[in-house]
Amino acid sequence: MLSKLLVEEDTFVRRIFPYNTAVKIALRRPSTLLNTIFVVFVFASPVPAQTPAPSSFQLMKISVTGLHQFNETQVIAVSKLSPGTTVTLQQVNAAADRLAQVGVFQNVTFHYRTQNNQMDLEFEVVEAQELVACQFDNFVWFTPAELKSQLARDVPLYNGSVPQSGQMLQAINDSLTAMLKEKGVPGDVRFMPFSAGIGQPITAVVFSVSAVALPIREIHFPGAGAIAENQLQKNSKPLLDQDYTATEVDAFVSKALLPLYGELGYLRAHFDAAQAQLLTASASAPSQDVAVNVPVEEGVSYMWKGDDWTGNRLFSADALDKLLGMHPEGVANMQKFDDGMQAVHDAYLKQGYLQATISPQPSLDDATRHVTYQFSVNEGPQFHVGAVTVTGLPDALKQRLLKAWKLHPGDVYDGTYLPQFAKQALPDLYRSGVHVGNPQFSLHADPATNVVNVEVDFH
């Protein structure tokens, strides 16, 4: 007999199906779209009407399909079902719900087949695509290996990647809290998502300890040679006496120290993740001094060999090379390179190419220690000046400001002009004696007409 049931998300089939059946039931995580309709097909073998359907089954076999990052044993452990035990359909439903709630599966479907009072059960899962790195910011009382080992024991599906929400995060939090308690550390555990900046995608969930001060007293750079360690330490003074977090140390090193190697042509230089060591003997102290090691792998220094430009029409390759300012057989100074790239970009802006992009692609020759760059240019359209409007000023001041604006409708729009205008015209405005607020400048580039309209609002 074939019957069809429609089941809405987060509801379960509660009825007991006829004796000797094969059933498929689909569930999804609570975070997915609502009002999803699932079709459940029930295939039932004819049985005598007088035979009562069993209310429980002996679970003979459990299998899991669809796994790529996790293994079957881990998933079965989370389900809390075991072969050889007696289960009801309600217990199977609850096990599937537990899997769906963890957060690492996008979909959970289970199938079962019964014969007499025995059941074979299969979970079919689709792993979530948005798993991110799990990072530990300031757990200085434990090595990375100790953290990994303990979490693998306490959190069955933990493998270093985590969902952005779900029960796994709380399970990790609970495990870390227990580790701190066992060590006598008086801190609290918290976690939060991490991204490179506003509007950037989440790349990690960071766990940290609060309520314990961890001032940095020492910082060392194993592997330093091309730049003396004491020079790196001198440049790292802003970190001293600050509370240690791996996130902040790594960010500082990337921004303040790595460019020093770039200036010397060490294009493959990189710093490993910060490693903290306690200097205070008592784990229960409210303030515990920390020494930080940041290993560096310097590599070798490269010389500039040359470059090749494609897609450029406005400027010749020679003109672009002059703006770039790099010289063959000179040190591949990345600070000089960055300044040159800004000069190239500004040259396009001055000519109204506001959407011009330059994509650099380096090619490193380790044998000769030279670098060659390929530049792909997409100039885009040239923009011209449209209307300039000023709001929020008395009429006399408005006219004075508009008179100071030197770009006229129809002129090529100089994309570098606005900061110059603000620097020159605004001080005169402020000296007028009239209270004037800080202006907000808005540019509206119309791709259909290639016209830029400028708005200056003093409200």
Supply the CATH number for residue 91's domain: 3.10.20.310
Q: Would you call 175 helix, strand, or coil by DSSP?
A: helix
Kind of pairing between the strands at 86-87 and 105-115: unpaired
Q: Which of 67, 96, 127 is the last residue of a domain?
A: 127
One domain for residues 103 and 39: yes
One domain for residues 19 and 111: yes
Q: Which of 280, 297, 314 is the last residue of a domain?
A: 297
Between CA 384 and CA 159 the distance in angstroms is 55
Q: Which of 210, 240, 270 is the last residue of a domain?
A: 210
8 Å CB contact between 236 and 252: yes
One domain for residues 328 and 432: no
One domain for residues 60 and 123: yes
pLDDT at 165: 86
Q: Which of 34-48, 68-82, 408-422 has the lowest mean pLDDT?
A: 34-48
One domain for residues 93 and 30: yes
The reported pTM is 0.76
Sign of the dihedral defined by the CA atoms of residues 184, 190, 193, 198, in that order: negative
pLDDT at 26: 55
Average pLDDT, the chain: 88
One domain for residues 42 and 28: yes
pLDDT at 30: 47
Instruction: Identify the residue whose tokens are 């009382």.
Output: 141
One domain for residues 115 and 136: no
One domain for residues 195 and 225: no
**What confidence category does residue 7 fall into, taking pLDDT thresholds of 50, 70 and 90?**
very low
Query: Which is nearest to 327 in space by CA: 317, 319, 337, 335?
Result: 337
8 Å CB contact between 155 and 168: yes
Q: What do you get for the CA distance between the two ends of the chain, in Å? A: 74
Task: Give yes or no for residue 152 having a pLDDT over 50.
Answer: yes
One domain for residues 220 and 277: yes
Tens of pLDDT, residues 31-58: 433 333 333 444 444 545 555 667 899 9
Between CA 69 and CA 284 the distance in angstroms is 38
Can you tell me the mean pLDDT for 289-307?
98
One domain for residues 60 and 86: yes
Can you tell me the mean pLDDT for 95-118?
92
Tokens matching residue 23: 């059933």
One domain for residues 309 and 338: yes
pLDDT at 241: 97
Number of domains the chain is built from: 5
pLDDT at 156: 82
Task: Give yes or no for residue 10 having a pLDDT over 80.
Answer: no
Can you tell me the mean pLDDT for 128-149?
93
> In which domain, by residue range, is 164 found?
132-210
One domain for residues 8 and 102: yes
Between CA 111 and CA 17 the distance in angstroms is 13
Query: Which is nearest to 127 in space by CA: 151, 152, 100, 148?
Result: 100
